[in-house]
Amino acid sequence: MRLIHYKFWKISRHLNASKSFKSSLWKKLEANLPQANLIAYAWFEPPFVRRLSGVVAGLVLVATSLTNAYAYVSPEVAEGALLYPLKQAWEKAEEATKITPAAEAHFYLKKLARREAESAVLERRQKKATKTKVQLELIEQRLEVVTEKLEKDSDNANQKLGHDLRQRLIKRQKFLETKLNKLNKARSKNFVSAVPATHKTLEKKLPD
């Protein structure tokens, strides 16, 4: 019996595939199998490669999450920025979940604060804020509608929220009026300072 086991063992030693055969087989599989299906044959990969793939996938996931968070909360991601469409997509998705006037009120207040901060960033960078201004007007309109609903609500908490919203809208209006007055004063000052210079230029051009 031992002799039979020995003979089987001796024969089995010569039945293992050689390294060259394994390498040739893998090349044929790569050439003939669709690239998308190669993942299904990941058992061919060494364990450290699979672990490395998992680490890379985890890092990509974390990086994506951090990018989304940065795009959503940072005022530096303003109109014209590469990540700005991502911020708008997140806001649109969040807005769809707000189904009560109170929830809408809190959401639009946050959105108003974001657009105001972005507008300040664009002003500092001396860049156009055309779309941001349009969005601010739309937010103000929606806040006005929500405020009226809350003010008419029988719930005391909602009435208080409506009152707070009304004060916020008044504050926003005063801010815009102050900004407009400063802009008009600056334009008027520039116009007055430009008039004497224009007169001098005309005097030089007129013949004696």
Separation of alpha carbons 160 and 157, rounded Å: 5
| End-to-end Cα spacing for the chain | 135
Parts of the chain with a pLDDT under 70:
1-19, 21-22, 24-72, 190-208
Q: What is the pLDDT at residue 32?
A: 59
- Give the H or E element holding residue 80: none
Q: What is the pLDDT at residue 170?
A: 93
What's the Cα-to-Cα distance from 113 to each of 9, 54, 136, 140, rounded to whole Å? 78, 39, 10, 11
Q: What is the pLDDT at residue 162?
A: 93
Q: What is the pLDDT at residue 95?
A: 92
Cβ(81)–Cβ(118) below 8 Å: no
What's the Cα-to-Cα distance from 73 to each of 84, 121, 195, rounded to whole Å? 11, 14, 46
Is residue 143 in some structural domain? yes
Is residue 187 in some structural domain? yes
Is residue 42 in some structural domain? no
Is residue 32 in some structural domain? no
Separation of alpha carbons 133 and 144, rounded Å: 17
Which residue type sits at 159? Answer: Q
DSSP conformational letter for 15? S
Is residue 58 in some structural domain? no
Longest dimension (CA), the chain: 135
Q: What is the pLDDT of residues 26-82, one digit of tens each?
A: 666 566 555 544 444 444 455 555 455 554 445 444 445 556 566 667 888 889 888
Q: What is the pLDDT at residue 38?
A: 45
Is residue 107 in some structural domain? yes
Is residue 39 in some structural domain? no
The domain total for the chain is 1
Q: What is the pLDDT at residue 103?
A: 94
**Contacts (Cβ under 8 Å, ≥6 apart) of 105:** 143, 146, 147, 150, 161, 162, 165
Q: Domain containing 186: what range?
A: 74-194
Is residue 26 in some structural domain? no
